[in-house]
Amino acid sequence: MATSMSRISTSYSGISNPFHDVGYGDQEQDANMALTELDKGLRSLKSGTQCESVVRFPRLFERYPFPILINSAFLRLADVFRGGTNLLRWCILRVLQQSEKHLDKILNVEEFVRRIHGVIHSNDCIARALTLRAMGSIANIISEQKNVHHSIVNGLDSHDALEVDAAVYAAGRFSAMSKTFAANICDKIATMIGEIATPVDLKLRLIPILQHMHHDSSTAAKARAVCTELLQNFPAQKFMTLTLNTMTHLAALSLVDVEGQISLLILTIKEDPRKAVKLTALRNLNDLAKKAPHMWKYNFVEELLDFSLASTSYILKTAALLVLTTISGTFAFQLFLNKDVKEEDLSKILKACNMCYQSQHPLVSATATQLYTNVAIACQKSRMPIMTSQNEITEGAQLAIFTQTCLSAPESANNEVDALKTCLGCAVRLVKVFPEVAHYFVKQMIQQVEYASDINKKLLCECLLAIGSEDFSLIDKIIPDLMATFKQLVANIDFESNKETCMYLGTLMFQAAGGEFVPPDIRNLIGQYLTKAHNSWLSYKLARQAMRYGQFPLAADTFHSLSQQVASEHFHFWLMGLYSICAAESCLENLNGDVRKTMMKVSDMLMLYQQGLSSLKASSTVGFAVKFPCDFVSLRITLLQTHSQLVRTCNTFRTCPPPAIATALAMTNGQEISRCGQILSQLTKCMKDYEAVSEKFAGLYQSSFDADPQTLHRILLLQQSCEVMKSAILTVIKSNHARYLQFGAMTSTSKDPLTSAILGVQNSLNTLIQGNSGDALTYKHMDFLCQSVQTLVAATFTYPRYFFQKIQSTKLTLAVSPQQTSAIEPVLVHHQTHLAMKVEGIIHHGARREIYRKVGQVQVTVNSEPVSINQSAIADQKITLSLSNNLSQRVEPHSDYFTSNFLLMFPVPGLHKVYIKADFVDQNDTLWKTGQKVTVAVKSYDDTIHKKMPKPVRTSFGQMPPQS
């Protein structure tokens, strides 16, 4: 049980912060201690201890990735490289290769290179080879150093094979980084390849260097001419494949002669009889179709169609169809359909698509099916007036997917599984463009689940869930088939694959409910599965899915049962928190529209929610952060409290009529609505409460950089519900002409319960405005506000994926200098000088990075404010400068590291607080709050004030007044 539930820790845990909660001063101290320990090992007389210390440096760089330590460490390694053995040099070379992203943090580059490069003059060829490889490993920071270029050229002329091999490696690295070196070395490489004395294996290692000659058009043209000559002079298979790869890479990077390279590759697949050469050419064509589809012409597509139809090898046929699939999925193919494709051309395309029925190999059929799907989608998007009906193409793609699915589903071979994955992906893409075909796929796939192999059952269920996410009513139509399959699998629950399949089928039933609670018979059926499965991890996953689809009663029972089975304390609190949340939401079951009973249930919900929030906070540990779940639940509590307060305010209108003098006041003001002054003030307070909750949801959105799009959409919906209620209250309390200021309409094609509720409130508000022309506040307005609250509360509240899981994880660590030496001693600065503050940061990523969005820039903001200042200084001096600093700068991180510098002024002596924070800016220029903040105390002083202060005078005995 403990093993199963331990997976929960990874379901919401992000990456661990290597610095934990210590300050930067503690980090620097720990780094210095670690570096001292490694330096002690380097000074050892034992070779093994020295090597052990060297290989531990990459781990040190990952834990403390700041320039001061890295610079010192690399300089120390350079010393060891200069005076150590070849074994130590080899270990240092591996450290350089493993720590490439930290090389740009070396501050003394010249000194670092000087120490390493000195070994190039050694009489030991192995030492020179290691030096050349070390130079190549750090090419990104020394790419333009001429002495290193000269050493590489000399290494290519060496008579030692090991040194030449190292020089080839360094030449390739420098050619990719340096335009000057690439232009100078091109002729040298061409000469060496052309010489008869050059060994064949060396020629094969020299050819890939030419792919880096892409810095300017003249060098690229020269490199391409050399490669073209190689194709003519060296027709051997190894030379042909390597040269074609080099030319393709060169063309893709330089964007010169892309069309010529495509023509060459097509000519190669037509004329060269060797299968390996043709396969290499087709793979290169696929790369060019991905990187430069706009450079293709339709005659290239025609040549590939002819080749795929004529080829007898299934490997070559698959490769050719894969190129056609890639190009058909681009915008260029849509242009072909509009301008170049005629009726006979379209028939040839469809003939290639129909190979999905003719081939017995699953990969050929699956690739042809993918081509068929791309053609159908392209025809729809291009809206071209084609001779063949669009329906015929769509039905053909639909039939191809179904046929291949039927053939591959019962099989468990790897190629059959890959083919099924491809076809199911095509089905989902086709449903998004043609929603009318969805019911066909859903009906057929649920019938195949029963007969599919163990691994394919999961794939079919995932495809059904993907289609159901587009329209859950499609799954609702196959509930009888779902239940029949579910019962059959539960009867054979001893098989592990059936347990997981049942979990997916249960999720499908939740999805089909569309936010409504599932009927008792389905709940009982799922309960039987959970009892028989005896798998705590699958039970947790199913309960988690139940929360995501609003099935809280079933989830509450499951979480309560699991909480009694875990050994870890924080797992117990986590599960108990989820149980309390589900129990709270279960209170909304069987609502009958009575606002009074709904508010009573809301009171019960708030009590259970407070218990759940306390349990969630108790479950938090260093490696199991629950900040987002706690914030999300806290906002849910605040929103329910705001709804409840609004209903109480509306009830006050019924129980507390206006005073007798209110009518006279209304006649005096000329506004009938002013009769209810007390209610107006209470409604205004409720409106401000909704506005505050809306701002908190906006803040939660901005702080969720790693959240998936569905989670962000859910937060926006909740914020929109607050805005709708705020607008409704504002419309009620404002004067007659102001009521017609309607808020922006919200449109959505989804059938989400919360979306429907928001739209319902908006429509009711519009109806109320149009049907009421009076200026007074009436019971209709109060009833409308109460019914709006009832509608929003009754809408099923679902918990997004980010509440449970982080698919991507991104964290930020800041370091500021100068830093306080201790917590009570501020940084000292003279009031007439500027304080130079340097802000450094490291971005940490989890195992899967930049799935939804990536960090484009980091916005560093520095603010300061005086805490206690010398008032006499302000009185004596005319202070014209601001007492505070407000600076901001955007920097682009390089290798997950960034640095920023600020000049701060503190013109008034006294104590000041400086606040430094950093936020992410994604690739779309959207600002995301990271929550990273550093505070530094600064003391500004003035020497003249200290001089003016009276000094204590010690009276001598001779100056003492006489005693009477």
pLDDT tens digit sequence for 150-172: 999 999 999 999 999 999 999 99
151 and 135 Cβ atoms separated by less than 8 Å = yes
Average pLDDT over residues 121-139: 95
Whether the pLDDT of residue 22 is over 70: the answer is: no
What gap in Å lies between CA 747 and CA 750, rounded to an integer? Answer: 9
206 and 165 Cβ atoms separated by less than 8 Å = no
Q: What is the mean pLDDT of the chain?
A: 86
Average pLDDT over residues 224-229: 93
906 and 912 Cβ atoms separated by less than 8 Å = yes
Q: Say what angle helices 496-513 and 536-548 make with each other, to 10 degrees.
A: 10
Joined tokens for residue 178: 């340096």
Whether the pLDDT of residue 567 is over 60: the answer is: yes
Specify the pLDDT at position 605: 95
Of 1, 14, 4, 11, nearest in space to 704 by CA: 14
What gap in Å lies between CA 518 and CA 101, rounded to an integer? Answer: 53
- At a CB cut-off of 8 Å and minimum separation 6, what does 45 contact? none
Specify the pLDDT at position 722: 95
- At a CB cut-off of 8 Å and minimum separation 6, what does 310 contact? none
Residue 132, helix vs strand vs coil: helix
Reduced 3-state DSSP string for 220-259 = HHHHHHHHHHHHHHCCCHHHHHHHHHHHHHHHHHHCCCHH
760 and 794 Cβ atoms separated by less than 8 Å = no
Cα dihedral across residues 432, 434, 435, 441: positive or negative = negative
pLDDT band at 658 (very low <50, low <70, confident <90, very high): low
Whether the pLDDT of residue 961 is over 80: the answer is: no
Whether the pLDDT of residue 713 is over 90: the answer is: yes
pLDDT band at 768 (very low <50, low <70, confident <90, very high): confident
What gap in Å lies between CA 806 and CA 848, rounded to an integer? Answer: 10
Specify the pLDDT at position 593: 76
What gap in Å lies between CA 323 and CA 328, rounded to an integer? Answer: 8
pLDDT digits (tens, 9 = 90+) for 260-273: 999 999 999 999 99
What gap in Å lies between CA 130 and CA 598, rounded to an integer? Answer: 77
pLDDT band at 32 (very low <50, low <70, confident <90, very high): confident
What gap in Å lies between CA 277 and CA 212, rounded to an integer? Answer: 22
Whether the pLDDT of residue 334 is over 80: the answer is: yes
Question: Burial level of 294, CB count in 10 A (0-12/13-18/19+)?
Answer: exposed
Specify the pLDDT at position 804: 93
Name which residue leads in pLDDT, 10 or 231. Answer: 231
pLDDT digits (tens, 9 = 90+) for 785-830: 999 999 999 999 999 999 998 888 899 989 898 988 887 889 999 8
Average pLDDT over residues 743-765: 73
Q: Which amino acid is at 95?
A: V
From residue 757, alpha-carbon distances to 725, 762, 791, 794, 796 in Å are 12, 9, 6, 9, 10
Specify the pLDDT at position 931: 80
What gap in Å lies between CA 332 and CA 329, rounded to an integer? Answer: 8
Q: What is the pTM of this model?
A: 0.86
What gap in Å lies between CA 538 and CA 542, rounded to an integer? Answer: 6
What gap in Å lies between CA 177 and CA 179, rounded to an integer? Answer: 7
Specify the pLDDT at position 546: 94
pLDDT digits (tens, 9 = 90+) for 383-430: 766 555 678 889 999 999 999 999 999 998 999 999 999 999 999 999
Tracing tokens 């791309």 back to the chain, one arrives at: 374
Q: Could you tell me where the DSSP H helices lie in 656-752? A: 662-669, 677-702, 709-733
Name which residue leads in pLDDT, 901 or 908. Answer: 901
What gap in Å lies between CA 487 and CA 505, rounded to an integer? Answer: 10
Of 622, 505, 587, 628, nearest in space to 929 by CA: 628
**Other CB atoms closer than 10 Å to residue 657's CB: what's the count?**
10
pLDDT digits (tens, 9 = 90+) for 280-319: 999 999 999 999 999 999 999 999 999 999 999 999 999 9
94 and 127 Cβ atoms separated by less than 8 Å = no
Name which residue leads in pLDDT, 660 or 624. Answer: 624
* Range with top average pLDDT, 36-45, 85-94, 248-257, 893-902: 85-94
Question: For strand 810-817 and strand 897-905, is the pairing parallel, antiparallel, or unpaired?
Answer: unpaired
**Other CB atoms closer than 10 Å to residue 734's CB: what's the count?**
14
Largest CA distance in the chain: 132
Spatial strand order of the sheet with 827-830 comes to 827-830, 927-941, 910-922, 855-869, 885-891
**Other CB atoms closer than 10 Å to residue 32's CB: what's the count?**
14
**Other CB atoms closer than 10 Å to residue 640's CB: what's the count?**
20
pLDDT band at 18 (very low <50, low <70, confident <90, very high): very low
Phi, psi values for residue 849, rounded to 5°: -120, 150
Average pLDDT over residues 40-63: 91
Joined tokens for residue 147: 């002495």
35 and 72 Cβ atoms separated by less than 8 Å = yes
Tracing tokens 């089905």 back to the chain, one arrives at: 427
Half-sphere exposure of 405 (CA within 13 A, CB side): 29
What gap in Å lies between CA 693 and CA 718, rounded to an integer? Answer: 9
What gap in Å lies between CA 171 and CA 143, rounded to an integer? Answer: 11
Phi, psi values for residue 917, rounded to 5°: -135, 155
Whether the pLDDT of residue 121 is over 90: the answer is: yes
- At a CB cut-off of 8 Å and minimum separation 6, what does 17 contact? 811, 813, 844
Average pLDDT over residues 172-195: 93
- Looking at residue 822, what DSSP letter applies? B
Of 547, 558, 729, nearest in space to 633 by CA: 547
Name which residue leads in pLDDT, 457 or 8. Answer: 457
Specify the pLDDT at position 621: 84
Cα dihedral across residues 676, 677, 678, 680: positive or negative = positive
pLDDT digits (tens, 9 = 90+) for 828-880: 998 889 999 999 999 988 888 778 999 999 999 999 999 887 666 565 555 55
pLDDT band at 489 (very low <50, low <70, confident <90, very high): confident
**Other CB atoms closer than 10 Å to residue 753's CB: what's the count?**
17
- At a CB cut-off of 8 Å and minimum separation 6, what does 198 contact? 192, 206
Cα dihedral across residues 59, 62, 66, 67: positive or negative = positive
Residue 188, helix vs strand vs coil: helix
Cα dihedral across residues 625, 630, 632, 635: positive or negative = negative
Please, which residues bridge with residue 866 across strands?
912
506 and 486 Cβ atoms separated by less than 8 Å = yes
Question: For strand 927-941 and strand 827-830, is the pairing parallel, antiparallel, or unpaired?
Answer: parallel
What gap in Å lies between CA 739 and CA 733, rounded to an integer? Answer: 8
Specify the pLDDT at position 498: 84
Of 789, 717, 768, 722, nearest in space to 746 by CA: 717
393 and 379 Cβ atoms separated by less than 8 Å = yes
